[in-house]
Amino acid sequence: MKIFVTGAAGYIGSILIPKLLQKGHEVTALDNFMFRQNSLLDCCFDKNLKVIRGDVRNLELVKELAENADYIIPLACYTGAPITNLDPMAATSITRDAIADMLKFIKPEQRIIYPNTNSGYGVGEQGIFCTEKAPLRPISLYGKLKTETEAKILDRGNAVVFRLATVFGSSPKMRLDLLVNDFVYRAFTDRFVVLFEADFKRNYIHVRDVADAFIYAIENFDRMKDNVYNLGLDEANLSKRELCELIQKQIPSFYFTEAGIGEDVDKRDYIVSNEKLLKAGFKAQISIEEGIRDLINTYNILHKSEYYNA
Ligand SMILES: NC(=O)c1ccc[n+]([C@@H]2O[C@H](COP(=O)([O-])OP(=O)(O)OC[C@H]3O[C@@H](n4cnc5c(N)ncnc54)[C@H](O)[C@@H]3O)[C@@H](O)[C@H]2O)c1
């Protein structure tokens, strides 16, 4: 298949692109490389990869790159509430408007796979398993832009939408701002974490399972299309305290305590059912424990900076 991926050099894209190439797909990878990341270097030799440095808001460029694609996977984004709040206009134009504009010119037969966040489930749903029928009521601008885009894509049709749990695990374009990645980093470097909202629960998924779910959607598209699926690890509806207990098993010197020091802007405290995707035949495989091991290896590489003598 010919696959056009935007934001291809990001945290998820940098795991997805090599997997797509291994499957023999032809990939056009667009990114503006805003983090100066070199995460796709290992794939550059592949004759089926074309890397383009450019902006998703450049409609002429996107039109040209998307033209012959069988599948479009729009990942380019100002990902997360903090970066979105730093520059709301840029975030709105990239996260929402660039995709809305693209929907106007792509052909009806071109297929889309889109990742929304499930963080909007967090509002007012404590203690209830959220299915895809539960309302998404995002609070942050990031959550709103993602959810508005999901609605536009579903309205257009010929699409599979995933609502992703909080992603964890190592990627060549690493993100330390994701909860599991952040906690393991703090446990590894500082040996302690002060928790707020310690009993708030969330669902999690390894970045490699996310990439595998995208590939599963490509291979089973006709069965899955025009649907939304929660994408998370069923065993991992965990509170922050439970997550810290799992980290402590692998880093025994890790200490955590609680204080009323903060608040999550998206009020995420919810448990999620991934049964619909399970029934469609896909099950996430990588446990939190395996992810913690993966992250400890990663931080042995990333940890020391030039400003430490030892
Ligand atoms: N990681 C998660 O926990 C998670 C959860 C839910 C949904 N998602 C969605 O998955 C997608 C990818 O997330 P990620 O974690 O890989 O984020 P990321 O920030 O690592 O990747 C985004 C990529 O987009 C690129 N980009 C930004 N602005 C651009 C522009 N104007 N033109 C071209 N490229 C641009 C960046 O360089 C980066 O490579 C996003 O749409 C995000 O909303 C991620």
Is the predicted pLDDT of residue 263 greater than 80, yes or no? no
98-105 vs 59-66: helix axis angle to the nearest 10?
Answer: 50
How far is the C-alpha of 260 from the C-alpha of 293, rounded, in Å? 29
Q: In angstroms, what is the span from residue 122 Cα to ligand 1's centroid?
A: 21
| Closest C-alpha to ligand 1, atom 11 | 75
How far is the C-alpha of 269 from the C-alpha of 23, rounded, in Å? 37
- Burial of 22 (C-beta count, 10 Å sphere; 0-12/13-18/19+): exposed
Arithmetic mean of pLDDT, 231-253: 94
Is the predicted pLDDT of residue 61 greater than 80, yes or no? yes
Is the predicted pLDDT of residue 93 greater than 90, yes or no? yes
Judge whether 180 and 288 are in contact, CB under 8 Å.
yes
Is the predicted pLDDT of residue 229 greater than 70, yes or no? yes
Q: Which residues contact 305 (CB under 8 A, 6 or more apart)?
A: none
Is the predicted pLDDT of residue 282 greater than 90, yes or no? yes
The length of the chain, given as a count of residues: 310
Judge whether 11 and 39 are in contact, CB under 8 Å.
no
User: pLDDT confidence of 125, banded at 50, 70, 90?
Assistant: low
User: pLDDT confidence of 236, banded at 50, 70, 90?
Assistant: confident
- Is the Cβ atom of 79 under 6 angstroms away from ligand 1? yes
**Mean pLDDT score across all residues of the chain:** 94
User: pLDDT confidence of 260, banded at 50, 70, 90?
Assistant: confident
- Is the Cβ atom of 13 under 6 angstroms away from ligand 1? yes
Site to substitute for ligand 1 among 59, 75, 83, most atoms within 8 A of C-beta? 75
- Is the Cβ atom of 236 under 6 angstroms away from ligand 1? no
181-226 pLDDT tens trace: 999 999 999 999 999 888 888 899 999 999 999 999 999 999 999 9
Site to substitute for ligand 1 among 72, 77, 92, 210, most atoms within 8 A of C-beta? 77
- Is the Cβ atom of 180 under 6 angstroms away from ligand 1? no
What does the pLDDT read at residue 110?
98
Q: Which CATH topology does 2-235+265-301 take?
A: Rossmann fold (3.40.50)
What does the pLDDT read at residue 267?
64
| Closest C-alpha to ligand 1, atom 39 | 10
Residue found by looking up tokens 């204080």 in the block: 259
149-168 pLDDT tens trace: 999 999 999 999 999 999 99
Atom of ligand 1 nearest to the CA of 56: 32
- Is the Cβ atom of 202 under 6 angstroms away from ligand 1? no
- Is the Cβ atom of 32 under 6 angstroms away from ligand 1? yes
pTM exceeds cut of 0.85? yes
Atom of ligand 1 nearest to the CA of 94: 31
What is the percent of the chain with per-residue pLDDT over 70, rounded to a whole number? 96
- Is the Cβ atom of 33 under 6 angstroms away from ligand 1? yes
Sequence spans of domains, the chain: 2-235+265-301
